[in-house]
Amino acid sequence: MPGSNIPKRSLKKPQIRKKKLSPMNPVSLEINNQYNRLESPEAATIALFEAIMESGKFPIGAGELSIAFVDDATIAAVHGDFMDDPTPTDVITFPADTTMESAGEIIVSVDHAQVRAAELGEPFSRELSLYLIHGWLHLAGYDDRNEDDRYKMRAAEKVALELLRTSEKVPEYYLQNHA
């Protein structure tokens, strides 16, 4: 699997915001919003990951966690370059690289979240949060390559979503309307 610094180079240069989750937390976030219609996802993303970290249920390694919000074309290009599948997907996670002080990278498709949320009749924010949680769980050691692993991943996703609900830190993500 490629080093975690490689995918960042394949993404366009956007505005990047860096934030340490908390003084006692070994993870800091680098949030890269490349999706023009996604309004300021920083606060929602920080709240989501703070709630997961504070629960202690799904620990990941220390370092900088890079989050990128992208469109289907961008995630399809990354999917093709690194996984030999040039189709769009919901989320791609690259593992930690301790030599680079990286906790990992999570790339999510905002386009995919919009379509899937509409198909399921779920709020867009919930679907996008699920993709971020899914990426985090990969970094925490969960996998979804076989049926048994997928079952464990889905169960952990439900626990994490419930954790957000009960901690009252359910993130709200907003899309700008465009003409």
Task: Report whether 136 contacts 58 (CB < 8 A).
Answer: yes
- pLDDT digit string, tens, across residues 80-111: 999 999 999 999 999 988 888 889 999 999 99
170 vs 154, higher pLDDT: 154
Contact residues for 43 (Cβ-Cβ < 8 A; gap 6+): none
**pTM of the full predicted structure?**
0.87
E-strand stretches of 34-177: 38-39, 63-70, 91-94, 102-109, 174-175
Annotated binding site: 134, 138, 144
Domain layout of the chain by residue ranges:
14-168
Q: Tell me how far apart the alpha carbons of residues 65 and 62 are, in angstroms, rounded to a whole number.
A: 9
CATH superfamily of 14-168: Metalloproteases ("zincins"), catalytic domain (3.40.390.30)
Q: Tell me what pLDDT residue 98 has.
A: 80
| Interval 116-141 mean pLDDT | 96
DSSP strands (E only) in 46-101? 63-70, 91-94
User: Is 10 in contact with 77 (CB distance < 8 Å)?
Assistant: yes
Which 3 state secondary structure label does DSSP give 93?
A: strand
Binding site as annotated, residues for Zn(2+): 134, 138, 144
